[in-house]
Amino acid sequence: MDKGLPLNDKAPPGEQLEPANPWPHVLLPPLHERVDSSATGGGSIRAVYEHGIEFIDQMGSIDGYMAAWMGTAALICLALGIWTLLDAPTAYPLHALWVFGLVLTLAVGRIDSVGYRYQPVLFDKQAQKVHLFSDLGTPWWEVWKLFGRTSFRVDSFDWESVRGEVAELQVLGGTNLPRKEYALMLAVTDRPGGTNVIARFGVGFTMGYDGGATQMGRWEHIRRYMRGEGPALAYGDALYVDESMGNWWGALTFAQPLLGPGSKAYWTGEALRGAWFLTIPVGLFMLVFLLPLTVPASLIRWLAHKGKGVPRWPDEIQASVGSSVDPPMGGPRASHAAIDYGKPIPQFTLKEKRARDKRRKQGLA
């Protein structure tokens, strides 16, 4: 069972950042220190450029979900409103209720149907910069704007001013029970080696059940790449692809585990650690009883996704990272044996890191 991060809430002197990360977290070593023997993007790299790698954000994996279900609820409100109007023309309170429900569901659903499909983070190795794309959205009361792009902002930071953090989050799992997940977050300081944080944001997907190992490997991958010590895409890793948007069949069946692209993992149980005796019954229940709801929800999600814009970097940033390339897949893992880090490379788990930090604070190491 995952017992969570062995968190160092009180970092050694000189290693505390202000303001501190509000989530329980581990502050990773500076850029010149290796933190993990493995280095991989963990399936969160969306694109590779000549001199850069682009990571998708956590919310990009669930793009369109809110629009799908709120849009379906809006259709239900509309259908019930029409039925009530025809069956009881003078039932004004009911008419008002369905109109209110229709406006409310559209207002909430439009939050997920306008703007951009994801908010990426771009690591520019040539300029030694980190670029953050932020969707600024629209005012909540613009309920008439159901599709299209919104305003955005691009922030650029010096790589030398970045520190990595692995944060422990509490989320609701599929059974509505709290579950621990781990996120890689970047804390940007006002100067290289500083402690005053001016920006903090996540990179890539969160992950549960691994004690933060995926996030440490992702940080190590980024760190090596930006130092010119590792490839853009590690051995065994692959670019992120949203299979539910690849073709019409995937888009139509995104809410049906046993149908469409990726369904094999649910038939075999691979999607839930081999628990096919859970994935198959749940999938059959959704297929038999929820198909009339999932089909319109899937179509609405597809429309919301297509209506959003694809993030585009400013010309000067695009010129620095170059054009997108197809990274080599497979092959042997890159060797780092010849790299001189100037001192022995520590190999430690998060639990060992906490113990090491405690000893350092007490002056024992």
Distance CA 232, CA 47 (A): 10
Cis peptide before 19 (omega within 30 of 0): yes
- Do the Cβ atoms of 204 and 210 come closer than 8 Å? no
Distance CA 230, CA 285 (A): 46
Dihedral (Cα; 214, 215, 221, 224), 10-degree rounding: -140
Report residue 225 as tokens.
């790449």
What element of type H or E holds 286? helix 276-289
Report residue 44 as tokens.
């969160």
Each residue's pLDDT, cut to its tens digit, for the chain (365 residues) gives 455 555 444 344 457 899 999 999 999 999 999 987 789 998 899 999 999 999 999 887 777 888 888 999 999 999 999 999 999 998 899 999 999 999 899 888 888 888 888 999 999 999 999 999 999 887 766 767 767 778 899 999 999 999 999 999 887 655 445 678 899 999 999 999 999 999 999 999 888 878 899 999 999 999 999 999 999 999 888 898 776 566 778 778 878 889 988 888 899 988 777 888 999 999 999 999 999 888 888 888 888 888 888 899 999 999 999 999 987 654 433 332 223 222 333 344 455 555 655 655 555 54
Q: How do strand 162-172 and strand 25-27 relate by DSSP bridges? A: antiparallel
Distance CA 133, CA 303 (A): 23
pLDDT of residue 255: 82
Q: Is 191 exposed, middle or buried (0-12, 13-18, 19+ CB in 10 A)?
A: exposed
Sequence ranges of the domains in the chain: 1-60+117-241, 65-112, 243-319
Strand, helix or coil at 355? helix
- Do the Cβ atoms of 205 and 42 come closer than 8 Å? yes
pLDDT of residue 340: 29
Report residue 54 as tokens.
């682009």
pTM for the model: 0.77
pLDDT of residue 357: 57
Phi–psi pair at 165, nearest 5 degrees: -135, 140
Within 8 A by CB and 6+ apart from 91, the residues are 84
User: Across the chain, what does the average pLDDT equal?
Assistant: 82
pLDDT of residue 347: 40
Burial annotation 280-292 (CB, 10 A radius, 16+ → b, else e): beebeebeeeeee
